[in-house]
């Protein structure tokens, strides 16, 4: 099993791969579909993120496994060369329960993703997602679409040395022409919310005690 996954993710490097994350749409028809993702173009941080809302429920959470393999893709805990990272789970807000499942597998070498990532979905007939309120959007019938972690990282890398307004302007220019809404910032407030909270000084804390 692991050697087959290894072949798909590493040996078959000449196969056409996706350089952008796919979008998944539920139409009521059952399907099973897989994608090869090029980790040279897609950040490891973003591989699990899609347009179907959060997969981390309070009852059912995704499962993660790490399998150490040698250079030939054979499990080897003593002399590993790669680590196969596998993450899988069912959507916590699907109707029926377990109606939508996802599995992600990819290789890492020295802590960095390498080769192909294999992303698979399985959807049952007539499956749909129950709307979940999020933030100020309490009445939307569409799943919340998370901004890619790689985009949020760009904010965090700048937040200590640049003003939120400057960060917003620069990242807005950088994303010009990008048709993927999840790769762009939603609004200025998203930048301002990334600022670290200021700690109250000991003198201020003493005032609250009296």
The two most distant CA atoms of the chain are separated, in Å, by 70
Q: In what order do the strands lie in the sheet with 31-38?
A: 31-38, 112-123, 100-109, 82-90, 63-69
**Poorest-confidence range of 24-28, 70-74, 197-201?**
197-201
Calculate the alpha carbon distances from 86 to 47, 103, 175 in Å.
Answer: 11, 7, 31
- Residue burial 88-97, b: 16+ Cβ < 10 Å; e: rest: ebbbbbbeee
Given a cut of 60, is residue 123 above it in pLDDT? yes
CA–CA dist 9, 83 (Å, integer):
12
CA–CA dist 77, 30 (Å, integer):
39
2 CB-contact burial (10 Å; exposed 0-12 / middle 13-18 / buried 19+)? middle
Q: Tell me the pTM.
A: 0.79
CA–CA dist 88, 86 (Å, integer):
7
Beta bridge partners of 112: 109
Given a cut of 90, is residue 131 above it in pLDDT? no
**Cis peptide bond N-terminal to 58, omega within 30:** no
Whether the CB-CB separation of 67 and 2 falls below 8 Å is answered with yes
Retrieve residue 47's tokens: 């591989």
Given a cut of 60, is residue 49 above it in pLDDT? yes
Dihedral sign, Cα of residue 71, residue 76, residue 80, residue 83: positive
Going by pLDDT thresholds of 50, 70 and 90, the confidence category of residue 143 is low
**Poorest-confidence range of 67-81, 94-108, 109-123?**
67-81
Whether the CB-CB separation of 83 and 67 falls below 8 Å is answered with yes
**Stretch 121-144: mean pLDDT, rounded?**
76
The domain ranges of the chain are 1-138, 147-195
């Amino acid at each position: 099993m692991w050697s087959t996954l290894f072949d798909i993710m590493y040996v078959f490097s000449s196969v056409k791969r996706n350089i952008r994350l796919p979008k998944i749409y539920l139409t009521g028809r059952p399907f099973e579909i897989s994608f090869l993702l090029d980790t040279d173009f897609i950040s490891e941080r973003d591989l699990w993120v899609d347009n179907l809302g959060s997969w981390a429920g309070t009852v059912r959470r995704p499962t993660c496994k790490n399998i150490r393999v040698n250079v030939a893709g054979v499990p080897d805990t003593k002399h590993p060369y790669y680590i196969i990272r596998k993450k899988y789970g069912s959507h916590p807000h699907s109707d029926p329960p377990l109606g939508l499942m996802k599995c992600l597998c990819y290789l890492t070498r020295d802590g960095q993703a390498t080769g192909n990532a294999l992303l698979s979905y399985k959807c049952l007939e007539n499956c749909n997602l129950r709307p979940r309120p999020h933030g100020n959007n309490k009445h939307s019938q569409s799943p919340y679409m998370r901004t890619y972690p790689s985009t949020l990282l760009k904010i965090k890398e700048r937040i200590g040395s640049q003003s939120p307004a400057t960060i917003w302007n620069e990242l807005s220019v950088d994303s010009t022409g990008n048709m993927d809404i999840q790769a762009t910032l939603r609004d200025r407030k998203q930048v301002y919310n990334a600022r670290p909270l200021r700690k109250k000084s000991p003198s201020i804390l003493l005032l609250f005690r009296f």
